[in-house]
Amino acid sequence: MYFNFREPIPINSNPGMVFAPRKFTTILDVARFAARLIDAALDHKDILNRKALPQERATSREPGQLLCMAQYYRILEASRLPGKKRDSQYVGADMRGGGQVSEHVVVICRSQLYCVPVQAGDRGRLTEDEICSQMLYILDDAPCLSSPPPVGLLTGWKRALWAEAREDLMKEEQNARNLDLITKSLLVVCLDEGLPTNFNCRLQRGGKGHTAGPRDETNLAHQMLHGGGTIHNSANRWFDKTIQLIISGDGACGLCYEHSNAEGVAVIQLVEKLWNHADSLPAHSDVPATSNSHIPPPERMEWILEATDLKRIEEAGNVLDNLIKDLDFQVYRFMGYGKEFIKSCKVSPDVYIQLALQLAYYRLYGKLTATYESASTRRFRLGRVDCIRSATPEALEWVTAMSQPKEDDLASKKVTFHLVSDEKKILLWNEAVSAQTSEMVDNILGQGIDIHILGLREAARETSPTASTPLPKLFTDSAYRIANKFLLTTSQVATNTDSFMGYGPVEDDGYGASYNPKSDCIIFCLSAFWSSEVTSTSRFVQSLEESLNAMQVLLTRPT
Ligand code: COA
Q: What is the secondary structure of 195-207 as a DSSP string?
A: PPGGGS-SPPPBB
Atom of ligand 1 nearest to the CA of 264: 48
| Distance in angstroms (rounded) separating the CA atoms of residues 308 and 147 | 19
pTM, rounded to two decimals:
0.94
Q: At what angle do helices 159-169 and 173-184 cross, to 10 degrees?
A: 130
| Distance in angstroms (rounded) separating the CA atoms of residues 68 and 72 | 9
Q: What's the pLDDT score for residue 301?
A: 97
Given ligand 1 and candidates 17, 347, 348, which is best to mutate, with the most ligand atoms within 8 Å of its CB?
348
Backbone angles phi, psi at 91, to 5 degrees: -130, 115
| Distance in angstroms (rounded) separating the CA atoms of residues 76 and 501 | 19
Pocket of ligand 1 (CB under 6 A): 60, 263-265, 343, 346-350, 374-376, 385, 440, 444, 491-493
Compute the 3-state secondary structure of the chain and give helix, strand, coil in percent, each to the nearest 5: 40, 15, 40
In our burial notation (b when 16+ CB lie closer than 10 A, e otherwise), range 194-204 reads: bbeeebbeeeb
Cβ neighbours for 534, distance < 8 A, ≥ 6 positions apart: 365, 509
Q: What's the pLDDT score for residue 409?
A: 57
- Supply the residue whose CA is at minimum distance from atom 33 of ligand 1: 350
| Distance in angstroms (rounded) separating the CA atoms of residues 346 and 340 | 10
| Distance in angstroms (rounded) separating the CA atoms of residues 117 and 295 | 9
- Supply the residue whose CA is at minimum distance from atom 8 of ligand 1: 348
pLDDT along the chain (559 residues), means of 10: 94 97 93 96 93 94 95 95 97 73 92 95 88 96 91 98 98 97 97 90 70 85 97 97 97 97 94 92 66 78 97 98 96 97 98 98 97 97 97 98 74 63 96 98 96 94 88 94 96 96 97 98 97 97 98 93
Atom of ligand 1 nearest to the CA of 377: 39
Atom of ligand 1 nearest to the CA of 437: 26
- Supply the residue whose CA is at minimum distance from atom 29 of ligand 1: 350
Strand partners, 517: 522
Cβ(271)–Cβ(87) under 8 Å? Answer: no
Cβ neighbours for 401, distance < 8 A, ≥ 6 positions apart: 420, 424, 425, 428
Q: What's the pLDDT score for residue 283?
A: 62
Residue 335 CA to ligand 1 centre (angstroms): 20
Which residue numbers are catalytic? 259
Residue 440 CA to ligand 1 centre (angstroms): 9
Nearest to 76 by CA among 201, 225, 244, 322: 244
Domains and CATH numbers, the chain: 16-54+66-328 (3.30.559.70), 335-448+486-555 (3.30.559.10)
Nearest to 336 by CA among 525, 517, 539, 557: 517
Residue 350 CA to ligand 1 centre (angstroms): 6
Q: What's the pLDDT score for residue 122?
A: 78
Atom of ligand 1 nearest to the CA of 440: 34
Integer angstrom CA distances of residue 292 from 125, 130, 135, 547: 15, 10, 17, 63
Rounding to the nearest 10 degrees, give the CA dihedral for residues 516, 518, 523, 524. Answer: 40
Cβ(536)–Cβ(361) under 8 Å? Answer: no
